[in-house]
Amino acid sequence: MASTPDSAPRPGGRRDQRRNHERLLQAAVEVFDEQGVAAPLKDVAVRADVSIASLYRHFAGRDALLIAVYEEQVSAVERAAIAILESSEGSPQHRLDAYLEGLTTAFMRHPCYPALAARGLALHPARTVDPRLEELLEELRAAAEADGALAADVTANDLVMVPTALVSLVGFDQIGLPGVWRRQLAIARRGLRPEAAADPLPSVLPEA
């Protein structure tokens, strides 16, 4: 059956859809950074310069948008972490310090990240970490432990969670105190060393 004017595909229609999809994801990150992940979706649509109906054509609701933003941001952080780990040189301690500062800096670009990650993990718990990142982190952890720069009970996952926890300090940058997060990172770094491991670390799992 011949296409009618109403049913014929619009030239560039798919390209427009992709562009709007990308604009919505970018707008969502900006709005979530400013207002939190509970921000009104209409604010995301306005920031992306699309209608709220267009937003819902791309994402069924808030959860679908959160998952998409979470996937995009986690992938970006993983790429940044891999780049840092692959390019760092020197002693294991120097590489560990460069990694922790570099990843914290990457996280600090988006204040919404902790809440976004918590919600994203709840909505999409099956997501797996990039195998290359896991490999590089374990190599760094083992080298730092062998070099006496890291306590034996610190895990590769801890090396991700420490920078993540510091994102809550991003507000101090905005009031002229940019050194706050670096100070807290230095304190955390002290706690990762073998001499600080006299007391056992608590488990992340609930007690039986």
pLDDT of residue 4: 44
pLDDT tens digit sequence for 106-122: 888 898 988 998 899 89
State residue 156 phi and psi, 5-degree precision: -60, -35
Look up the pTM and report it. 0.80
Indicate where the chain has its CATH 1.10.357.10 domain(s). Answer: 70-196
CATH number for the 14-59 domain, one of 1.20.1630, 1.10.10, 1.10.246, 3.40.50?
Answer: 1.10.10
Nearest Cα residue to 188 out of 112, 89, 78, 103: 103
Give 3-state DSSP helix, strand, coil % of the chain, rounded to 5: 65, 0, 35
Provide CATH 1.10.10 ranges for the chain: 14-59
Torsion over CA of 112, 115, 117 and 120, rounded to 10 degrees? Answer: -110
pLDDT for position 12: 58
Q: Which residues of the chain have pLDDT under 70?
A: 1-12, 204-208
Query: How many C-beta atoms surround the C-beta of residue 86 within 10 A?
Result: 9
Measured distance between the N- and C-terminal CA atoms of the chain, rounded to whole angstroms: 66
* pLDDT at res. 208: 54
Tens of pLDDT, residue by residue over 106-165, are 888 898 988 998 899 899 888 888 999 999 999 999 999 999 999 999 999 999 999 988
In words, the CATH class of domain 70-196 is mainly alpha
